Structure formats: C-alpha cells, structure tokens
A and B are shown apart, each in its own frame.
Chain A
Amino acid sequence: MTDSVIDLRGVSRRYDEGPPALDDVSLSVAPGECVAVLGPSGSGKSTLLNLIAGLDRPDSGTVTVAGTRVDTLGEAASARFRRTHVGLIFQFFNLLDDLTVLENVLLPAQLAGARDKASREHAARLLDTLGIARHAGAYPGRLSGGERQRVAVARALVNRPALLLADEPTGALDTASGEDVRYLLNDLHAGGQTIVLVTHDLRLAEACATRTISVRDGRVEAGVPA
C-alpha cells in the first residue's frame, strides 16, 4: 500500500514479561485521513502511537510511515525522520518551561537546522493562526491549558510534517479549552493534514475523525468510518 502515510503489518510489542501491549496489529492510514484511536487505559493506544512516531520499536512486524520503514531506523535516523515527517502533540503538552513560547515552537526547526529567519516567520504565522501570537515571548507556565496545547500544536506543525500524531490532546484540558482544540484539529484536517488521534474523548473523535479504530488488549478490534 504505497500511497499510505502509515502502514503497519503484523506489529507486536511486549514489555518485559507482561501480556503484549500490541498483538499482531495491521493498520493503514491514507493521506489526508484523520484517524481516531479509541480504547480503555492500558489497551495499547499510546504504544501504537509511539511505534508510529519511531519513539519505540516493535518486537515483530513492520512500521512504514511516509514511505520510510521506521522500525529499522536507529536513534539518530529516527530523530531525523521525526523532525521532518511527524508532528507530536502530547496530553500534558510537554513544553519546555525554560523556553519561551516562540522558542518552544522554533525548537524542532532549529534542531533540523532550518534557516533562522524563515523558520521564525513560519513560527510567527503559526502562532498568529492559532491565536496565541501575543504570548510569543511568554513562558509556558503563565499560559492556560488550552493556550499551552495550542503552543504544542504550533510546535508540532512548524516543520510542516506529513503526519500529526496527537496523544490525548484534550485529556488535560477543561471543557472550553477542549472545545478550542477540537476546532483547531478539525481545521487542520480540513486543510488536508493527516492526523492520528489517540483519545478517550468521543466528541473529539466524532468532530475530527474520518475513521475510528478501537484497540483492546493490544488488538485492533474495528475500523469504523466516522
């Protein structure tokens, strides 16, 4: 399936002696798709996301993202792949407290060695688009949860990734902020961005996803068009 952004075949991952976190999972995501991965805690959702992002390696099976076999990449190649092809959004934002909002957003571009002026302009545009331009010089600790998640989204998008991976993007937000993030992701998807969401939030899945996948005990149970 060469035109897929994500192609997992027979992927299994087991931690220590416990039951498999993922067991023989196969999955494809087409360009422009927004897939919501649903399931209870400990079902293997985050493991799935980590494998797609190249943060972890499967014990068996293949993981191909944007045409690259990420399961065979070393740490350095995996990092280079991530910063050019994947944007990551975390439940608890994972912003660096000692960097300003702008510096946080710029960091992936700087790590990729992008030209400073161009990446600054792009980052400023993103902050403006996401409505947080006024906070560019502030530190994350002073922002609300919703604002922090917007910063995290801007950071994930700064290198124009082919794939956006979001792990419980509304999990740490109040209702109003969660609503904001839902609109934001929906807008991104509408603009053609390929997105994989791991979430407990059914409203988010309904609002954004073109397809939902249910994971239970490490196995994909269904792939249902939203």
Chain B
Amino acid sequence: MNGLNRVIRSGVRRRRVQTVVIALVAAAAVTASVLGAGLLVASEAPFDDAFAAQRGPHLTVQADPAHVTAAQLTASASASGVSAAAGPYPLLVVPMAVGPQGMRIPPLTLVARADPGGAVDRVELIGGRWATGPGELVMGGGMVRLPLGATVTTAGGTELTVVGTARSVSGTAGGWVAPSAVAALDAPGVTHGLQMLYRLTDPAQVSAGRDAVAATLPSGAVVSARSWLDIRQDAVEDAAVFVPFLVAFALLGIVMAVLVVGTVIAGTVGAATRRIGILKALGCTPGGIVRAYVTQALIPASIGALAGAVAGNLIALPVLAETEEIYGSANTAIAWWVTVLAAGGVLAVVAATGWAAALRAGRLRTVDAIAVGRASGPVRGRWASRLAARLPVPRPIGLGLARPFARPVRTSATLLAVAAGAAAVTFASGLGASLVRIQTALDQNTADVTVSGSFGGPGPGGAAPGGLPPGGSAPSGSASALDGAAVLAAIAAQDGTRAAYGVVEEPVTVVGIADPVRLSAFSGDASWAGFEMVSGRWFAAPGETVASAPLLKAVGIQVGDSLTVRSDDGTTTSLHIVGEVFESSPSVFTSTATVPGLQPAEFPIALTDGTDAGAYAEKLTAALTAQSLTAQPTGADVDPLLLLIQGLTATLTLLLLAVAALGVLNMLVLDLRDRVHDLGIHKALGMTPKQTIAMVIASVAGVGLTGGLLGVPLGIAMQRLVVPSMAASGGLHLPASLLDVYGPALLAALALGGPAVALLGALLPAGWAARTRTATALRTE
C-alpha cells in the first residue's frame, strides 16, 4: 500500500497542470452549484420562516373608529377560529414632507404601538430604539425609508425624528409611533383608523376567520381585512423572479461541470495508460490502479471543492442579505446541506469518471498498455488532415485546424463546454438588456428634468417650494390648482426643451379590486416616457384608456372592454380600454381630458442633446416661480433587485466562462501531451515558436467558432424562455420589444465569444508548446 501511496503522490505532483485544472474546475463547478442551488433554496421559504418567527397576523383588520369602539375590537379576539390577537392600535395615514425644502414623500401609514412585541406581529427592531414619546418615529421597511436621525414634517406641521428602524414581514405599517404621539398627528387630510391583528387556528381558513371576526363587530366597522395569504403571494412573487434565472444558470453550470470534469479526469487517466501498464508489469492489480487514479483525481478535486464551497457561500452573502432585508429574520446563509450536496455531487462526478477511465486502463493487457505511446496507434481524422492541407492557409494553421478531428470525443466535450459558455454569455447579456428595458418601461422615468409642485403648506422654516423625489410618485390631484397648459407652454419656451408632458396621479377605486388603483392622467405627448404596449394601442382620444395586466386580470376584463373608475369624491368615469400597457401594478393611463377637473401636477421633460440638466433646471425654476414649481434633474433610480440580478449574472457568467476556458486548456494540455513527440518532429523540421503558437491556437479556433455558433442560439432561446418566465412570476406579460434585444452588432460580438474563450484557454498551452525544447520533445515517449 505504501508503494501505491507513493504512486498517487508522485502522480499528483508530476501532473501539476492537470492537478491544478482539476482543482480549478471542481472549484468553479462547486461555486456555481452552491450559488445556484443555494439561492434557489433560499428563495423558497424566507417569507414563511420570517412570518413564523414574527408570529405574523393571518388577518389584519382596519376598523373605522366611527363605527366601532376599542373595547368591541378587543372583544373580537374571542371570535371563533382566532387563536391570538393584538390591538386595537390607532392607525393614521399621514401626508409628509422631508428636508428643509419640504420635499413631499408618499403618505405614511403610521401605527401607534407602545412596544414592538406582543402575541401577534412581533416587529423586529433593526436599528435605534422604539418610539417612546411624541416627536419620535420608527421607520418600517416600506417604499419610504429614512435613516436614523432624519426628520419628517407631517401635514399638521408636527416634526418627527426617526429614532429607530424596524420591519414587519406582514407589512402592517410604514412606520410606528408611540400612542402618546397620536394626538399631535391629527390634521386635515390625515386618515384615522384602528388596526386589529389576528392569528387563526387554521391559517388556511382566512375567509371563515374574517367572517367570524366581522360577526362580532358592528356593521360598517371593518374598512379592510387583509389576508396573510395575499401578503405571502406578493412576497413569493418577488422571490419567484429569481427562480427561472437561477434554474437556467444552475443547469448550465451542472452540464458544464460534468462535461469538463469528466473530460479532464478521463483524459488524465487516458494519458497515463502507459504508466498504468508499467505499474501493472511491476505487480499492481487492476483494483489498485483504480484506487490510485481515483484518489489521484480526488485529492485536487477535494481541495477545489472546498475552495468552491467557501467562494459560493461568500458570493451568496450579499444576495441573502438583500433577502433578509426584504423578509426580515430569514436565512442569512446558504443551507449547509446545499453546500455538502454540491461539493459531494462534483466529487462524485470526479470519482465516477476517474473510476470508469482507470478501470478501462486497468483492464488493458499489460503489454498493450505499455505499448501505448510507443507504437503507432490508430490515426483518426485523416480526411480532415487531407482537407486542411488543401486550404489556402499557412501549413501550421492547416495542421492545427485538422487536429480536433483526431480526438473526436474529447473535442465534442470541449465543444459542448465552449457552447455552454457562449450560451451563458448570450443569455446573460440578453437578460441584462431585457431587465434594463423592463425597468425603464416600469419606471417610465426617462425624463432628464422633472418639474413638480411644493408640498401643500408651508415647509419647515418657511414656504420654500419643494419637489418630488426624482422618479417618485406624482402628487395626486390635490395640486389641481395648477394651469397645466400654461406650465407646458413655459417649459416649451425654455431653450433646450425637446419634449415635455404633464401627468397627475389619482387613486381611484375599481369594482372587483379591494385596494385603490392608480389612475395616471396625461397632458401632451408621453410616448417618449418609456411606456411599452403589450397589446392594442396608446390612448388617443378622451374616454380612451390603457390598463395594466394586473388590473385587467383582477377585474377579469380585456382590451376592448369598458371600465368604470370612481374617484375619492364619488365621481365615476367610464373608460374604454384600447390597449394593455406594460406595468406591474394595477393601473390605468388616460388623458387629463377624460377625467374632469384633473390638471397635471408633475412635468417630465426631455432635453435636447448637449443641454446641461442642472443649468436648465435652475433657469426653468426661475421661470416657474409664480406657479411655485421646482425643476430638478432626474437622477438615476436603479432597482436594487435589478442590480442584484445583474451582479449575480455577471458572477455566474464569469464562472461558466472560466470553466469553458479551463475545458479548452485541458483539451490542449492532453493533446500536447499526446503529441509532444510530433511537436518535436515539427520543430526539428523547422517549425518556429510563432508557427507553433499559430498551430495550437488554430487547433481550438474551429472548436471555439463552432461552440460560439451553437451557443448563441441556445443563449437566445434561454433568454426567450427565462425572461418571460421571470415576468410571469410577477404576473406580467412581456411585450416583444422588451425581448428583442439582440442587434446584429451584439450578435456578431457574441458569436466571437466562443473563439475568445478558446483563445483564452489556448494561450497558456500554446506558450508551453512554443517554449518546449526540440530535443526534449523528441526524447519524450
């Protein structure tokens, strides 16, 4: 056994390149697998874990204090099917502004709670402390996020300081205040309510629980009752966006890992056939041979797998941190069994391919095994050699081009690895481009400058006008005192204006949808704003509207149908749906002429090329002083989820490219080892180092080009499959324009990706081949 150990050790040391390649490929394969599978698993259950940890409410009831007392709500905790309850908590929807200029932010739903704990909805405090008195605010993790120490001014002029940040996975509030703060928050425009939270004995029977609770309360007491299942659905949809993308990368990673690891191991053992023959001649049994070579492959593979497991877990950290940010106390690390399974799987592939190849070599007759590398073996691919000799290219290139046909199995495996690498790059670039287009279409935020009104009251420290945050929600119709036509005329008169439109957003109710629906009304041409039509056309006349898929789905209507919306003041408007617009929330878009009394409150502006947005905004603000409007350059508002996906895509793509390049490198190392004697002959006959490099690179150029040509359509097909699946996870239909991202220039560049990977993998072996001394190569058996 000592002798066998020595054989193993010397094998690992002597075949250093192969040993390093095995370790690197195993590392890359494990990293990709841990990352893909780990995130897949992590995206499955964060909501459920966090909901259970926080004892989230299965039923969240908002009650009208005009119809129900706190005592009646407290008594509702004894309703049939209720296992625990918390509340009633005072609830206020408070318009707010921030900063010295009174910049308006969306109204914040504040809940007054003495502490974050309790039997239901144990809010997790993640920074600072809980609010204990008036003037203190604990911010939630909703759309509006303010740092500790920031101040906000309520509609009534009360100043609140952020003393803590917290999150409720159930999203029961946008912020929390102490019960003693409630009185000071009251002002015109502030909505009051009472919040009651229930946990049910049977979480699946939310409707029954709601009915049971409602039965204990006076008629009209319940304003809204939100099921935890709806919240869960929203959360799972967010996480589900990752699933198709991760599955695609995980599959690519596994296929490439098997191909490259298999080729590396089989090639390594195959190249050692003569050594195996000598070992057998010296008395080593076939079983000993198998043990020696499987162990020889497993040593570097285990080191690589360990490194890959560490790398995969480290790379996953920022993604999991984002998941934690979204869901609260969720998974903060990859599940341990995923790491074990990924590393074990890759090592199993290594062991299996090593075992099969060593077994074959071990079973060869000793005399035949020894003869390998000395006698002339069967020569394959002569037809290619003949063909290449006729090509009008320098002879070294012709020799290189024919070379892959001499080892068709090895070449095929490498070809598939390169194709998978090219597919990964194509898919990644298409995914990235589609996601950017999708974000642009969803943000409708292509403006260079945005004009908006100040908060409807004196801001802190005076009446300075303020603006909306760039890309933020337009104010509702409360700013309807503006003369939209006059503002648009003033904007049009400003030097540097290319296009502008006015918009106002108004919450409306639609029969069939519990929550308010956003109605956006436009003045002027908004066609450049980035709206993408899924079907039909943009509205063109008063009374026409376009609607989003979530709205059409919720109401059960389609393009061509009519829709009635009801404003807060009770006005109803009938709209004829002429198109479906790409938008993630239930929304309708129409002209201001359709809804009487609405005037635009925000004016997105596109500037002519070369116009300085800052200087333009200053001039325009001065011109609009009379209207109390402010122009601000629109900042880039990048979705963190998009950044996350793009970062992950880049990481996984680089990993797969590295595996593909290692596959090429491995193929060449094996090939050069097979042919080192021939290489010596070539050099003895006058082949220069440059010609040697050209020959080696040419030997993978065909593989690279073919791999690229196969990989590009595969990558496009994946993009066509995965991106719509990701959108469907969010309940969206994708217009073709968001998928058609591959222009001729990009396609040409992607097709060159295969040769680029091949070149990358060939550089080192080509250098080795060029540097090999002729006499040494000729002496090599």
Contact = CB atoms under 8 A, between A and B. Distances in A.
Nearest to A96: B678
B689 A94 contact: no
Contacts of B691: 79, 111
Contacts of A50: 775
A76 B681 CA distance: 15
Contacts of B775: 50, 55-56
Interface in A42-99: 50, 53, 55-56, 75-76, 78-80, 82-84, 88, 90, 94-99
A61 B691 CA distance: 30
A176 B398 CA distance: 37
Contacts of B680: 94
B106 to A, nearest CB: 71
Contacts of A210: none
Interface stretch (B173-181, B382-390, B415-423): B382-390
A95 B379 CA distance: 13
Interface string B424-460: 0000000000000000000000000000000000000
Say which size band chain B's interface belongs to.
Answer: 20 to 34
A169 B382 CA distance: 27
Given A97-B376, A98-B402, A155 B685 contact: yes
B687 interface: yes
A96 B689 contact: no
B385 A99 contact: yes
Interface string A133-157: 0000001110000000000000100
Interface string A94-113: 11111110010001101111
Contacts of A90: 778
Contacts of A108: 685-686
Contacts of B771: 75
A88 B685 contact: yes
Given A98-B379, A98-B381, A107 B685 contact: yes
Contacts of A95: 681
A108 B685 CA distance: 5
A55 B686 contact: no
B68 interface: no
A88 B681 CA distance: 10
Interface in B664-690: 677-678, 680-690
Given A55-B778, A56-B775, A100-B386, A75 B770 contact: yes
B683 A79 contact: yes
Nearest to A54: B774
B406 interface: yes
B395 interface: yes
B773 interface: yes
Nearest to A81: B686
Contacts of A80: 686, 688
Contacts of A75: 683, 688-689, 770-771, 773-774
Contacts of A99: 385, 389
B265 to A, nearest CB: 26
Interface string B393-425: 011100000100010000000000000000000
Given A108-B685, A111-B688, 13 more contacts: A50-B775, A55-B684, A55-B775, A56-B774, A75-B771, A79-B691, A82-B684, A83-B685, A84-B686, A96-B678, A107-B682, A111-B682, A111-B687
Q: Which 3 A-B pairs have the closest CB atoms?
A: A83-B686, A110-B395, A79-B688
28 contacts: A53-B684, A55-B683, A55-B774, A55-B775, A55-B778, A56-B773, A56-B775, A75-B770, A75-B771, A76-B689, A79-B687, A79-B689, A80-B686, A82-B686, A83-B685, A83-B686, A88-B684, A90-B778, A96-B678, A98-B381, A99-B389, A108-B686, A110-B394, A110-B395, A111-B682, A113-B394, A140-B376, A141-B376
Interface of A: 50, 53, 55-56, 75-76, 78-80, 82-84, 88, 90, 94-100, 103, 107-108, 110-113, 139-141, 155, 159
